[in-house]
Structure 1
Amino acid sequence: MMESLVLALELIARGDAELFGIATLSLRVSLSACVLAALLGLTLGAWLAVARFPGHRALVWAVNTLLALPSVVVGLLVYLLLSRSGPLGSWGILFTPKAMVIAQAILVTPMIAALSRRLVADALAGGGDQLIALGARPLTAALLMLVHERLATLTLLLTAFGRAVAEVGAVMIVGGNIAGVTRVMTTSIALETSKGDLPLALALGLVLLGVVGLIHSGVAMIPVRDKALRVAMA
């Protein structure tokens, strides 16, 4: 065990090309997925916070329920959509980083939508509804609240990124864990452990822990108001 750990630290210290290539791809895929999910999730969350229509509660319930959506189910659905016999098979992006971005985006969009809805609703209840009284459209006012509560918004986005970068099931299914193409940190750890290459698996695990640790440290250091922070991290 200690020998494997020492070898893992040596891989990190000398900047092993394979190790950091995998880490770079992981960060690129997860960051792209979170940007896409933020565009969709923040807009959906802001809209749900101010919209009132038949079935509104059911839609909010559905979004909250999707927070617990298993990643392997997301991977399976995206695989079926992008496979050759699927409706989007003509895109030809299965087993590519693009498919992995789509899967991770689907996985974290409900999280961003649910948390941003609660954040906007809380902000509006705290006096933000004055924008609507002054003539701003409800959705515009909701989006402005996200900008106003930008530190809390950043907190929930960092939380979503942390979930995306640590995800394994969906990217394994739609990416195929192809060396040099779709192999990311989580899938590599699973593969190298099964192969018995513990030094590389441990090195990847340490890098992944470092990334997640930095994310959560960043979240903890954001000087956001206590109430907004509780909403974002609930």
Structure 2
Amino acid sequence: MQPVVQPVGQPDPVTFFGQGLQQAWDLLLHNNAALLQVLVVTLKVAGLSTAIAVVVGVPAGVVLGLGRFRGVGVLRVLANVGLGLPPVVVGVTLALLMFPAAPLGRFHLIFTLRGVYVAQTVLAVPIIIALTSSAVRDVPRSLLDQARAYGASRRALGALATREARVGILAAVIAAVGSGLSEVGAVVLVGGNIEGVDQTLASAALERVNAGDFAGGLAIGILLLALILVITAALTWLQFGNRQEARVKAS
């Protein structure tokens, strides 16, 4: 077998990656102001869009999960379809609706941070609805039937289902937050990826890589992964921490 010969002028992949990591680490240490601004925008986009999606999506998901009305099956299918909405298609559609002469043009949303909020919320709401509905449907029917037998109102029944499905609902929140932190397509198309205005960590990393600044893209990618890890760990603790504490006390 002939040994693999590295082409002249081409760096060794391992060495290239190691150098990129070193440069990325230097950027993280010495370019804090610029990265901090992008980090703040990313947290705003993920936090606000998820909060709005929870306010809108959890009640809708509970209604779909408990629903016995005509057409509820179709609505559940549509909610699940929303899980697979292509972000680029959502971004193109919203951008066309937001241009000055379009129906939403008077709100001046295109190429603004507010427009990015709208785009990410549109992507997050179906996630919350679909996963909340699924979690509510997994609540034991016997428990809900017992509550109905005792005369529980629809609001009380919904509150009971929400409490019992809280682990699944928090899983929906984690998924929505993850989408908000890592989304690129819709953010770029609606917001324009304007540095200092609506650029997020994910879109900034893409811009750096497209410009040939692989070290910069890697640095931002490292920061984004760390952020996702911290936030997901915190939400997971909220999701299961109380249950583990209750089991310890019970034992």
| TM-score bin, normalised by smaller chain | 0.7 to 0.9
Using the TM superposition, give the Cα deviation of residue 147 of structure 1 relative to its aligned residue in structure 2, in angstroms: 3.2
C-alpha change, 1:216 and 1:111, in structure 2 (3 Å) is same
Counterpart pick for 2:51 among 16, 32, 35: 35
User: Is 1:172 matched with 2:180?
Assistant: no
Counterpart of 2:148, as a letter, is I
Q: Tell me, yes or no, if the aligned pair for 1:43 and 1:143 is still in contact at 8 Å.
A: no
Mean Cα deviation higher: 185-194 or 126-135: 126-135
Which position in structure 1 is the counterpart of 2:173? 157
Mean Cα deviation higher: 87-96 or 145-154: 145-154
Q: Tell me, yes or no, if the aligned pair for 1:37 and 1:105 is still in contact at 8 Å.
A: yes
Which one has the largest radius of gyration? Answer: 2
Counterpart pick for 1:133 among 126, 149, 154: 149
Counterpart of 2:183, as a letter, is E
Unaligned 5+ segments in structure 2 are: 1-15, 245-251
Using the TM superposition, give the Cα deviation of residue 52 of structure 1 relative to its aligned residue in structure 2, in angstroms: 2.3
Counterpart of 2:153, as a letter, is R
Using the TM superposition, give the Cα deviation of residue 203 of structure 1 relative to its aligned residue in structure 2, in angstroms: 1.0
State how far apart, in whole Å, the 1-side matches of 2:105 and 2:52 are: 21
Counterpart of 1:223, as a letter, is F
TM-score of the superposition, structure 2-length normalised? Answer: 0.82
Mean Cα deviation higher: 156-165 or 211-220: 211-220
Aligned Cα RMSD in Å? 2.1
Q: Tell me, yes or no, if the aligned pair for 1:124 and 1:145 is still in contact at 8 Å.
A: no
C-alpha change, 1:62 and 1:167, in structure 2 (3 Å) is same
Which position in structure 1 is the counterpart of 2:69? 53
Counterpart of 1:195, as a letter, is A
Counterpart of 1:112, as a letter, is I
Using the TM superposition, give the Cα deviation of residue 10 of structure 1 relative to its aligned residue in structure 2, in angstroms: 1.9
Counterpart pick for 1:195 among 180, 198, 211: 211
User: Is 1:22 matched with 2:38?
Assistant: yes
State how far apart, in whole Å, the 2-side matches of 1:163 and 1:65 are: 16
Which position in structure 2 is the counterpart of 1:3? 19
Mean Cα deviation higher: 75-84 or 130-139: 130-139
CA deviation digits over 1:163-216, x for unaligned, max 9? Answer: 221111100100001110011111111111111122221111001111222244
Runs (4+) of structure 1 exceeding 3 A deviation are: 147-152, 215-222
User: Is 1:143 matched with 2:159?
Assistant: yes
Counterpart pick for 1:223 among 240, 243, 250: 240
SS of the aligned residue for 2:216 comes to helix
Using the TM superposition, give the Cα deviation of residue 139 of structure 1 relative to its aligned residue in structure 2, in angstroms: 4.6
Count of residue pairs brought into register by the alignment: 226
Unaligned 5+ segments in structure 1 are: 227-234
User: Is 1:87 matched with 2:95?
Assistant: no
Mean Cα deviation higher: 93-102 or 152-161: 152-161
Q: Tell me, yes or no, if the aligned pair for 1:120 and 1:142 is still in contact at 8 Å.
A: no
CA deviation digits over 1:94-138, x for unaligned, max 9? Answer: 111111111111112111111111111222525134333332333
Using the TM superposition, give the Cα deviation of residue 144 of structure 1 relative to its aligned residue in structure 2, in angstroms: 3.4
State how far apart, in whole Å, the 2-side matches of 1:124 and 1:84 are: 50
Mean Cα deviation higher: 87-96 or 124-133: 124-133
Higher-RCO chain (CA-CA 8 Å, sequence separation at least 6): 1
Q: Tell me, yes or no, if the aligned pair for 1:41 and 1:109 is still in contact at 8 Å.
A: yes
State how far apart, in whole Å, the 1-side matches of 2:236 and 2:174 are: 11
Q: Tell me, yes or no, if the aligned pair for 2:128 and 2:169 is still in contact at 8 Å.
A: no
Q: Tell me, yes or no, if the aligned pair for 1:158 and 1:219 is still in contact at 8 Å.
A: yes
Which position in structure 1 is the counterpart of 2:28? 12
Which position in structure 2 is the counterpart of 1:232? none
Counterpart of 1:207, as a letter, is L
